[in-house]
Amino acid sequence: MTIHRHFEDLIFSGTSISSAEKKYLIEHLKACPECETLFNSWQAVCKQIQSVQVVKPSPNFVEKWNKDLDNRKLLARTMQARKMLLISSTGTVLALLITFGLTMVLASPAGLINGVINSINNLVVVINLLHMFSAAIINVIPPIIPFYYTLVFSSTFCLLTVLWIYSIWRISLQGVRTK
Protein backbone atom coordinates (compact mmCIF):
# COMPACT_ATOMS: atom_id res chain seq x y z
CA MET A 1 0.00 0.00 0.00
CA THR A 2 2.68 2.47 0.97
CA ILE A 3 4.73 1.50 -2.09
CA HIS A 4 1.67 2.14 -4.29
CA ARG A 5 1.32 5.50 -2.61
CA HIS A 6 4.80 6.44 -3.72
CA PHE A 7 4.03 5.52 -7.33
CA GLU A 8 0.69 7.31 -7.19
CA ASP A 9 2.58 10.43 -6.18
CA LEU A 10 4.93 9.90 -9.11
CA ILE A 11 2.02 9.45 -11.53
CA PHE A 12 0.28 12.64 -10.41
CA SER A 13 3.45 14.72 -10.35
CA GLY A 14 3.40 14.62 -14.17
CA THR A 15 6.48 15.94 -15.96
CA SER A 16 8.18 17.19 -12.82
CA ILE A 17 9.79 13.82 -12.05
CA SER A 18 13.40 12.97 -12.86
CA SER A 19 14.31 10.47 -15.56
CA ALA A 20 15.45 7.99 -12.90
CA GLU A 21 12.09 8.26 -11.17
CA LYS A 22 10.36 7.86 -14.51
CA LYS A 23 12.29 4.71 -15.25
CA TYR A 24 11.46 3.42 -11.79
CA LEU A 25 7.76 4.16 -12.35
CA ILE A 26 7.64 2.46 -15.74
CA GLU A 27 9.26 -0.61 -14.22
CA HIS A 28 6.56 -0.66 -11.55
CA LEU A 29 3.74 -0.14 -14.03
CA LYS A 30 4.78 -3.25 -15.93
CA ALA A 31 4.40 -5.29 -12.78
CA CYS A 32 1.41 -3.58 -11.18
CA PRO A 33 -1.90 -3.48 -13.11
CA GLU A 34 -3.47 -1.28 -10.43
CA CYS A 35 -0.94 1.52 -10.91
CA GLU A 36 -0.97 0.99 -14.66
CA THR A 37 -4.74 1.58 -14.77
CA LEU A 38 -4.33 4.70 -12.67
CA PHE A 39 -1.49 5.91 -14.90
CA ASN A 40 -3.50 5.36 -18.10
CA SER A 41 -6.59 7.05 -16.64
CA TRP A 42 -4.54 10.03 -15.52
CA GLN A 43 -2.88 10.31 -18.93
CA ALA A 44 -6.32 10.29 -20.58
CA VAL A 45 -7.52 13.03 -18.24
CA CYS A 46 -4.42 15.13 -19.00
CA LYS A 47 -5.00 14.71 -22.75
CA GLN A 48 -8.64 15.71 -22.30
CA ILE A 49 -7.68 18.86 -20.39
CA GLN A 50 -5.10 19.84 -22.99
CA SER A 51 -7.54 19.30 -25.87
CA VAL A 52 -10.11 21.68 -24.38
CA GLN A 53 -9.45 25.05 -25.88
CA VAL A 54 -10.01 28.04 -23.73
CA VAL A 55 -12.92 29.97 -25.11
CA LYS A 56 -12.06 33.63 -25.13
CA PRO A 57 -14.70 36.30 -25.63
CA SER A 58 -14.39 38.23 -28.87
CA PRO A 59 -12.34 41.43 -28.48
CA ASN A 60 -15.31 43.81 -28.64
CA PHE A 61 -17.53 41.63 -26.48
CA VAL A 62 -17.48 43.98 -23.49
CA GLU A 63 -18.23 46.93 -25.74
CA LYS A 64 -21.14 45.09 -27.36
CA TRP A 65 -22.41 43.94 -23.98
CA ASN A 66 -22.40 47.48 -22.59
CA LYS A 67 -24.14 48.79 -25.67
CA ASP A 68 -26.78 46.08 -25.37
CA LEU A 69 -27.19 46.93 -21.71
CA ASP A 70 -27.69 50.60 -22.56
CA ASN A 71 -30.26 49.66 -25.19
CA ARG A 72 -32.10 47.42 -22.77
CA LYS A 73 -32.08 50.15 -20.11
CA LEU A 74 -33.45 52.64 -22.62
CA LEU A 75 -36.13 50.17 -23.67
CA ALA A 76 -37.08 49.52 -20.05
CA ARG A 77 -37.25 53.25 -19.41
CA THR A 78 -39.39 53.83 -22.46
CA MET A 79 -41.73 51.01 -21.47
CA GLN A 80 -41.96 52.36 -17.93
CA ALA A 81 -42.67 55.86 -19.18
CA ARG A 82 -45.31 54.54 -21.56
CA LYS A 83 -46.98 52.60 -18.79
CA MET A 84 -47.07 55.64 -16.51
CA LEU A 85 -48.29 57.89 -19.31
CA LEU A 86 -50.95 55.41 -20.35
CA ILE A 87 -52.31 55.25 -16.80
CA SER A 88 -52.08 59.03 -16.40
CA SER A 89 -53.67 59.69 -19.79
CA THR A 90 -56.49 57.26 -19.14
CA GLY A 91 -57.14 58.95 -15.80
CA THR A 92 -57.03 62.37 -17.40
CA VAL A 93 -59.40 61.40 -20.22
CA LEU A 94 -61.78 59.91 -17.65
CA ALA A 95 -61.57 63.10 -15.60
CA LEU A 96 -62.31 65.15 -18.70
CA LEU A 97 -65.29 62.94 -19.56
CA ILE A 98 -66.62 63.32 -16.01
CA THR A 99 -66.15 67.07 -16.20
CA PHE A 100 -67.87 67.11 -19.55
CA GLY A 101 -70.71 65.01 -18.17
CA LEU A 102 -71.09 67.32 -15.17
CA THR A 103 -71.10 70.31 -17.49
CA MET A 104 -73.87 68.73 -19.54
CA VAL A 105 -75.95 67.98 -16.45
CA LEU A 106 -75.38 71.15 -14.44
CA ALA A 107 -74.94 73.96 -16.93
CA SER A 108 -77.41 76.21 -18.70
CA PRO A 109 -77.39 76.22 -22.54
CA ALA A 110 -74.92 79.10 -22.56
CA GLY A 111 -72.85 77.39 -19.90
CA LEU A 112 -73.08 74.14 -21.83
CA ILE A 113 -71.57 75.67 -24.95
CA ASN A 114 -68.93 77.34 -22.84
CA GLY A 115 -68.27 74.05 -21.08
CA VAL A 116 -67.89 72.17 -24.35
CA ILE A 117 -65.48 74.76 -25.69
CA ASN A 118 -63.55 74.71 -22.43
CA SER A 119 -63.42 70.94 -22.44
CA ILE A 120 -62.06 70.89 -25.97
CA ASN A 121 -59.55 73.62 -25.08
CA ASN A 122 -58.55 71.71 -21.97
CA LEU A 123 -58.18 68.51 -23.95
CA VAL A 124 -55.84 70.21 -26.43
CA VAL A 125 -53.81 71.71 -23.60
CA VAL A 126 -53.69 68.39 -21.77
CA ILE A 127 -52.58 66.54 -24.91
CA ASN A 128 -49.85 69.12 -25.49
CA LEU A 129 -48.76 68.88 -21.87
CA LEU A 130 -48.72 65.09 -21.99
CA HIS A 131 -46.64 65.22 -25.15
CA MET A 132 -44.06 67.53 -23.55
CA PHE A 133 -44.23 65.55 -20.36
CA SER A 134 -43.61 62.22 -22.10
CA ALA A 135 -40.54 63.61 -23.88
CA ALA A 136 -39.15 64.89 -20.57
CA ILE A 137 -39.99 61.84 -18.49
CA ILE A 138 -38.18 59.32 -20.73
CA ASN A 139 -34.91 61.13 -19.99
CA VAL A 140 -35.24 61.13 -16.21
CA ILE A 141 -37.25 58.04 -15.38
CA PRO A 142 -35.40 55.09 -13.82
CA PRO A 143 -35.81 51.80 -15.72
CA ILE A 144 -37.77 50.07 -13.01
CA ILE A 145 -40.30 51.79 -10.79
CA PRO A 146 -42.31 49.84 -8.23
CA PHE A 147 -45.99 49.67 -9.14
CA TYR A 148 -46.86 51.52 -5.94
CA TYR A 149 -44.96 54.61 -7.10
CA THR A 150 -46.56 54.43 -10.53
CA LEU A 151 -49.93 54.36 -8.81
CA VAL A 152 -49.10 57.28 -6.52
CA PHE A 153 -47.66 59.30 -9.40
CA SER A 154 -50.63 58.61 -11.68
CA SER A 155 -53.16 59.34 -8.95
CA THR A 156 -51.47 62.63 -8.11
CA PHE A 157 -51.31 63.54 -11.76
CA CYS A 158 -54.99 62.73 -12.29
CA LEU A 159 -56.04 64.55 -9.13
CA LEU A 160 -54.13 67.68 -10.13
CA THR A 161 -55.61 67.54 -13.61
CA VAL A 162 -59.11 67.16 -12.21
CA LEU A 163 -58.56 70.06 -9.79
CA TRP A 164 -57.15 72.16 -12.58
CA ILE A 165 -60.03 71.40 -14.95
CA TYR A 166 -62.55 71.91 -12.15
CA SER A 167 -61.11 75.33 -11.29
CA ILE A 168 -61.17 76.39 -14.93
CA TRP A 169 -64.72 75.13 -15.18
CA ARG A 170 -65.74 77.02 -12.04
CA ILE A 171 -64.16 80.21 -13.29
CA SER A 172 -65.81 79.88 -16.70
CA LEU A 173 -69.18 79.10 -15.10
CA GLN A 174 -68.92 82.12 -12.80
CA GLY A 175 -68.03 84.23 -15.81
CA VAL A 176 -71.26 83.09 -17.49
CA ARG A 177 -73.28 83.81 -14.34
CA THR A 178 -71.98 87.34 -13.89
CA LYS A 179 -72.97 88.32 -17.46
Residue 179 CA to residue 175 CA, distance in Å, equals 7
User: 138: number of CA atoms within 13 Å, CB side?
Assistant: 11
For the chain, the distance separating the N- and C-terminal CA atoms, rounded to the nearest angstrom, is: 116
Q: Please select the residue that binds Zn ion; options are 10, 11, 25, 35, rule is CB under 5 A.
A: 35
Nearest in space to 85 (alpha carbons), one of 127, 45, 122 = 127
Q: Shortest Cβ distance from residue 1 to Zn ion (Å)?
A: 9
The site for Zn ion, by CB under 5 A, has a size of 4
32 forms part of the interface with Zn ion (CB under 5 A): yes
Q: Nearer Cβ to Zn ion, position 4 or 67?
A: 4
Q: How far is residue 35's CA from residue 28's CA, in Å, rounded to a whole number?
A: 8
With binding defined as CB under 5 A, does residue 4 bind Zn ion?
yes
CB of 53 to Zn ion, least distance (A): 34
Rounded to a whole number of angstroms, the minimum distance from the CB of residue 8 to Zn ion is 8
Interface contacts to Zn ion, rule CB under 5 A: 4, 7, 32, 35
